Amino acid sequence: MLCPARVRGLTQLNISCGARSLWAMNFHFLGVFDLALEPWYIQFLFITRFYLTRMHSSINSDLADLLPDNDPQRVLLHNEVHARPSQRIRLPALVIYVVVINAGITREQECDHLRCLPGQQALMLEQLQNNFLRLRLPGYTLRWERHTEFTRYTLVQHLPEVAQLGATDPELLSYLELPRGWLAGIPGRTFAAVKLALVSGDLNQPDELLMQARKWFGGNPVVASLIGREGHSLAVTDFMLRPSGFERMLVIMPADASETRAGRISQRLLEIETYRLMALRGLPVTKQLIPELTSAEQQLAEITAQLENKAASDQELLDTLISLATRVERATVEHAYRFAATQAYSKLVTQRIAELWEQALPGTQTIGVFMQRRLSPAIATVEATAQRMSYLSARVSRASALLRTRVDILTETQNQQLLEKLSRGQELQLRLQSTVEGLSIAAISYYVISLLLYVSKAGKAAGLPIHPELATGLMVPVVIWVVWRTTRRIHDKFFKSH
């Protein structure tokens, strides 16, 4: 029985800790209730816990009032680093890892499939909105993770202690407690599937462990690495597909290895395989695109050669170049994302391999060396094709600029010729105008003299002493000079204003 003094001491300790850490208070209560207490003690402790909880909430509320309103993205970005924590795996364990391409697959479909698991009929779609979900099921745990292009399902099941190094594949899978047909019913198309076994072993003799591990891979050539600076784990795989559709990986660790270390190692190995396959998705695209790029480059070379031929039709060259540019830009738009994704996934593979801190075993390739020799050429081919397509697009742009320059020069030449023709026409018009100008003066003078003759005759008829013909004859030089002078003044005034 607990004495009142000890209860007071624990209560004071809980009160002092409650303002700082409600978790510490709960820890003390759990420790106290393991003892036999009288009912009034229990009631007293529950009341104390109630007030401490309210005090803790009040303190948090007061602290929250000290800050301005949160940015809408603060909580989301802050929690991003905690979005996909590593698993805790206790040895021995079996990890069933399935990756499916989720193109055309909705969260609703994936949620419906997850509801088929035991006890998950009430699973809500809102629980899948963060793209991560961990389900604790009888005998195993299941992680669901949705990414941009794929969704992965990771099932971790603790195995009986008899499941040690040397166990056969059927022996390991016989412990699997999934509903029948659940894996085959996962929405999507399978892209990666791995069976990863984690067992304990004596790493003081890694060569012997490796010999035993080879049996589980059916005699296939394997790659193996000691993991960590101290070589605390041994990872073995052959990267081969079995008739079942699964690959196999084996991790051997000391019996006292921590659960977090086992979870981190398994996650890195599985991510290496996932990102390796995702990086290689650009290789089929590259092989399909190479003949098209070769044809486009040849056609561009022909167009460039024809640019030197002045007899070639600019309209035909322009039509051909526009068609070529359209093909190149369409290919760029269709495949730019895949090429960029290949580079990103390749960097992730390199990063995950570096995080393993591999050490080589005599006569066996490490995972990193295997990836470098087998994956690097494919990635280099994809990157070279992406660069080649970029260069081709730039060359098409330069050819377009050259053709545009040629057309501009031709247009300017034609405009210059047209202006010269207009100038010559104006000069001819001026000459004609000068030629006609004398005739115009004579015609105007004739009409003016005719008017003067009529005026003189009218004056004579009115009784004035005028001889019409004589007066008109005397006025002819004067009229001609006045008309000429007036015409010159108008002519000079017009050209001066222009």
For residue 91, pLDDT beyond 70: yes
User: pLDDT band at residue 419, thresholds of 50, 70 and 90?
Assistant: confident
User: Residue range 57-76: average pLDDT?
Assistant: 70
User: pLDDT band at residue 54, thresholds of 50, 70 and 90?
Assistant: low
55 compared with 487, residue with greater pLDDT: 487
For residue 484, pLDDT beyond 70: yes
What's the pLDDT tens digit per position in 216-237? 888 788 999 999 988 899 999 9
Ranges 40-49, 54-63, 194-203, 417-426: which has the least confidence = 54-63
**% of residues, the chain, pLDDT over 90:** 34
Helix (H) or strand (E) holding 16: helix 4-18
CA distances from 487 to 119, 394, 418, 472, 493 (A): 113, 65, 32, 22, 10
480 compared with 46, residue with greater pLDDT: 480
- Predicted TM-score (pTM) above 0.85: no
**Helix runs in 234-281, H state only:** 259-279
For residue 42, pLDDT beyond 70: no
384 compared with 1, residue with greater pLDDT: 384
d(CA 293, CA 392): 8
Indicate the Cα dihedral angle 290, 296, 300, 301, nearest 10°: 50
What's the pLDDT tens digit per position in 393-412? 888 888 888 777 777 777 77
Whose CA is closest to 392, among 317, 313, 331, 467? 331
What's the pLDDT tens digit per position in 123-168? 999 999 888 999 998 888 999 999 999 999 999 998 877 666 665 6
For residue 31, pLDDT beyond 80: no
Residues contacting residue 465 through CB under 8 Å, at least 6 positions apart: none
User: What confidence score (pLDDT) does residue 34 get?
Assistant: 38
Q: Is the dihedral of CA 103, 108, 110, 116 positive or negative?
A: negative
User: Residue range 399-426: average pLDDT?
Assistant: 79
What's the pLDDT tens digit per position in 252-265? 999 888 999 999 99
CA distances from 136 to 133, 258, 263, 353 (A): 10, 20, 16, 30
User: What confidence score (pLDDT) does residue 163 get?
Assistant: 65
User: What confidence score (pLDDT) does residue 166 get?
Assistant: 61
Cis status, amide bond into 92, omega within 30 of 0: yes
For residue 339, pLDDT beyond 80: yes
Dihedrals phi, psi of 142, to nearest 5 degrees: -130, 130
For residue 76, pLDDT beyond 80: no
d(CA 255, CA 274): 28
User: What confidence score (pLDDT) does residue 58 get?
Assistant: 58
